[in-house]
Amino acid sequence: MVLTGAEIVIRCLQEEKIEYVFGYPGGAVLYIYDALFNQKQVRHILVRHEQAAVHAADGFARSTETVGVALVTSGPGATNAVTGIATAYCDSIPMVIISGQVPTAAIGQDAFQEVDTVGITRPCVKHNFLVKDVRDIAATIKKAFHLAKTGRPGPVLVDIPKDVTMQKCAFEYPQEVSMRSYNPVVKGHQGQIRKAVQLLLEAKRPMIYAGGGIVLSDAAEQLTKLTRLLGFPITTTLMGLGGYPASDRQYLGMPGMHGTYEANMSMHFSDVLLAVGSRFDDRVIGNPAHFAEEPRKIIHVDIDPSSISKRVKVDVPIVGDLKEVLDEMIRQLEASPTRPDASALAVWWKQVEEWRRRDCMKFKNSDDIIKPQYVVQKLWEVTNGEAFVTSDVGQHQMWAAQYYRFDKPRRWLNSGGLGTMGVGLPYAMGAQLAHPGSQVACVTGEASIQMCIQELSTCKQFRLPIKIVNLNNRYLGMVRQWQELFHGERYSESYMDSLPDFAKLAEAYGHVGFRIDKPSDVEGALRDAFSRKNDLVFLDFQVDQTENVYPMVQGGKGLTEMILSSEDL
Amino acid sequence: MRHVISLLIENEAGALSRVSGLFSARGYNIESLTVAPTEDSSMSRMTIVTSGSDEIIEQITKQLNKLVEVIKVVDISESAHIERELMLVKVRASGKDREEMMRMTAIFRAHIIDVTESSYVIELTGNQRKLDAFVGALEPELILETVRSGITGIGRGDRVLKL
Ligand SMILES: Cc1ncc(C[n+]2csc(CCOP(=O)(O)OP(=O)(O)O)c2C)c(N)n1
């Protein structure tokens, strides 16, 4: 069958069973949009800014087990997409981004809307391609999907010049990909796994530390089984929330800069630490030198060898797919006549429970002013802990992570690695499209939400009944918190003046908007909002302006040097 | 510590910039980098001379391996290997200097590959030290121009870097 390059692009997406493409048209992709017009299988979601197209496709991927797809034009379309691509890259999200390019003959001529898209995106993609021949389109797109979802996942960009989309050739979608230079390890090394299991069985103060890899590899079930089998305490990072049920007794909450006292203390004083799909990053272990002061054996399982022994020296490295490796660990444990050291574990748990009794997440609620933590607690109650929750970046993000207790993976969507303000609403769009009947909440701040506020229009067009929970403190709250603590209360440019009336703004876009001022109205407003199954509701909560996120490990400090509340200052 | 890393990479547009971009983005050193297609023209072989602690070298090899187009990576300086570099030197050669230059060329087993009334171009291969020694042995005012290829290397004996 002879097709144009543009038709081939769309056929490839059909072959990949892609339901939604998030995009924005322009000159270089006109033929692709024409091909899109002539079919029904792949639906296009017209966003209002290319950054949101990539974020929404990313959110779709995060909330499902599929690859997100975005389509943008050359030049400004591609540069607008860069923040989205970098965001997905930092969190290893499988995505394919198709960008238009000026015609091949014009490349390098400083043509209208020409940028070196492959060059600009190179450091923030898993891989990228410039397709110069129509006969290469199908094989390249096949490779792009393969690369995006295998190994350590990530965004892959395919840049296609306009003339290539007009040329014709026979279409055949390859069934398989074989690349001699790319063969990610899947199965873990048997001997290493045996060593790890041995260490786990001998441990006196064991701890499990799981990261986003658990969610990405869909290994939550295996992790839960292994953790229960061992009876060890477990923590999951910001990216790993939901990878282990938060309501379980063995769960200690999140570690790191705004993690719980018990999780940080247990990580620090463990004698055997099992790290799975996590990377010891600076927001988790704080100062690596301080972390290394306490001797402990570290087992590190990850699909990416370069994540192992990068910041922390590891004793038992295991490269492989988490699902496979954890399954093998479970198999060996079940086959072993030895059990974990029960008496040592009892002593360790006693210590862990003592740390837990500090109740570091307690906060003083108020009858007069809305506490942001209270709003998230109520959100959790009202949605039975079952909503898809997205967040932006700032204090509200930490409160959402701390107070919404995720029992299932892929329910919590946030930009952990790049920390991109503006992701919340587009992530919610992706999640809502992927899960039409489900409750989707976007927990945000008055600053972050304005970074992609134009998407309220997209939400109207595609009838997405997202609930926006705006924790409005009239400050760049996280910036203000750092200025309060580390910059002598000089609030340089962190106060937001001239905010819009968000409720009216939502109405202007054709949605429902509430403004909530009193603590006693919080729950009612949330219930009202979630009862409106077909409406996007913007809930503008006027919250305490001075509230800070605790516990806190300051940059450069060690995990045990936490500030638990303002009284510690 | 100085290391010599050899790698095979798909011979495709942009492959070199992926490697050099990796080094600059992560702040790794590049002392020299050479690249050319192998006997199988679909592959290029690169030799990178770099330096860093053991941890950094481990990260460099892992990060290189992670590049999708990289086929194989070996730190050839971990065991017995040979390094060679090519240098071309244009020297002033008139009057008594002509004799002197021929003598130096013979001593270093170099070749004169271009001759004019007033200059020679001398070709010399060897390891870095030999090339440095040659340049050091010439009178600086006689050197008109030098160009060096950067180092290439290969393992000794049975060790082979192949697909
Ligand atoms: C695109 C982008 N610009 C700047 C920052 C730095 N930054 C981190 S948090 C924050 C303030 C966020 O304010 P708001 O959305 O109101 O949330 P709050 O912290 O008040 O909950 C800023 C500016 C960022 N993370 N992303």
The pLDDT value recorded for residue A567 is 80
Of residues A127, A180, A305, nearest to B71 (C-beta): A180
Could you report the predicted ipTM of this complex, rounded to two decimals? 0.94
Q: What DSSP designation does A113 have?
A: T
Residue A132 reports pLDDT greater than 90: yes
The pLDDT value recorded for residue A45 is 98
Distance CA A114, CA A568 (A): 55
Strand order in the sheet with A297-302: A234-236, A206-210, A272-276, A297-302, A316-319
Residue in chain B nearest A314 by alpha carbon:
B55
A549 lines ligand 1 (CB under 6 A): no
Residue A181 reports pLDDT greater than 90: yes
Average pLDDT, chain A: 97
Q: What DSSP designation does A409 have?
A: T
Q: What is the pLDDT of residues B9-52, one digit of tens each?
A: 999 999 999 999 999 999 999 999 999 999 999 999 999 999 99
- Residue A41 annotated in active site: no
Distance CA A375, CA A544 (A): 11
CA atoms within 13 A on the CB side of B11: 11
Distance CA A564, CA A358 (A): 9
Residue B163 reports pLDDT greater than 90: no
A475 lines ligand 1 (CB under 6 A): yes
Q: Residue A189, exposed/middle/buried by CB under 10 A (0-12, 13-18, 19+)?
A: middle
Predicted TM-score (pTM) of the model is 0.97
CA distances (Å), A8 to each of A106, A128, A137, A263, A303, in order?
22, 18, 7, 51, 33
How large a percentage of chain B has pLDDT more than 70?
Answer: 100
**Nearest CA among A261, A204, A83 for reference residue A155:** A83
How large a percentage of chain A has pLDDT more than 90?
Answer: 98
Which domains are delineated in chain A? 2-170 (3.40.50.970), 190-356 (3.40.50.1220), 372-549 (3.40.50.970)
A544 lines ligand 1 (CB under 6 A): no
- Residue A50 annotated in active site: yes
The pLDDT value recorded for residue A565 is 87
Distance CA A260, CA B76 (A): 47
Which domains are delineated in chain B? 2-78 (3.30.70.260), 82-152 (3.30.70.1150)
Residues pairing with A44 in the sheet: A21
Asked if A188 and A327 count as a contact pair (C-beta separation under 8 A), the reply is no
- Residue A129 annotated in active site: no
Q: What average pLDDT does this structure show over A478-483?
A: 97
- Residue A113 annotated in active site: yes
Backbone angles phi, psi at B95, to 5 degrees: 60, -135
Residue A512 reports pLDDT greater than 80: yes
Q: What DSSP designation does B108 have?
A: T
Bridge pairing between strands A272-276 and A127-130: unpaired
The pLDDT value recorded for residue A395 is 98
Asked if B87 and B146 count as a contact pair (C-beta separation under 8 A), the reply is yes
Determine the distance in angstroms separating the CA of A290 from the nearest CA of chain B, rounded to an integer.
Answer: 18
Q: What is the pLDDT of residues A255-314, one digit of tens each?
A: 999 999 999 999 999 999 999 999 999 999 999 999 999 999 999 999 999 999 999 999
Helix H or strand E segment including A47: none
Distance CA A206, CA A274 (A): 8
Residue A21 reports pLDDT greater than 90: yes
Q: Is any Cβ of chain A less than 8 angstroms from the Cβ of B51? A: no
Q: Which of A257, A390, A393, A470 to mutate to test the pocket of ligand 1 (most atoms within 8 A of CB)?
A: A393
**Lookup: tokens for A501:** 């009336």
Distance CA A558, CA A128 (A): 39
CB contact under 8 A, A181 and B69: yes
Distance CA A263, CA A492 (A): 34
Q: What is the pLDDT of residues A350-361, one digit of tens each?
A: 999 999 999 999
Residue A195 reports pLDDT greater than 90: yes
The active-site residue, picked from A126, A142, A162, A378, is A162
Of residues B13, B18, B68, nearest to A182 (C-beta): B68
CB contact under 8 A, A310 and B59: yes
Distance CA A57, CA A307 (A): 26
The pLDDT value recorded for residue A568 is 78
Amino acid identity of residue A233, one-letter, is P
CB contact under 8 A, B68 and A305: no
- CB neighbour burial string for A463-480, b if at least 16 within 10 angstroms, e if fewer: ebbbbbbbbbbbbbbbbb
Distance CA A348, CA A343 (A): 9
Q: What is the pLDDT of residues A83-109, one digit of tens each?
A: 999 999 999 999 999 999 999 999 999
Distance CA A336, CA A119 (A): 52
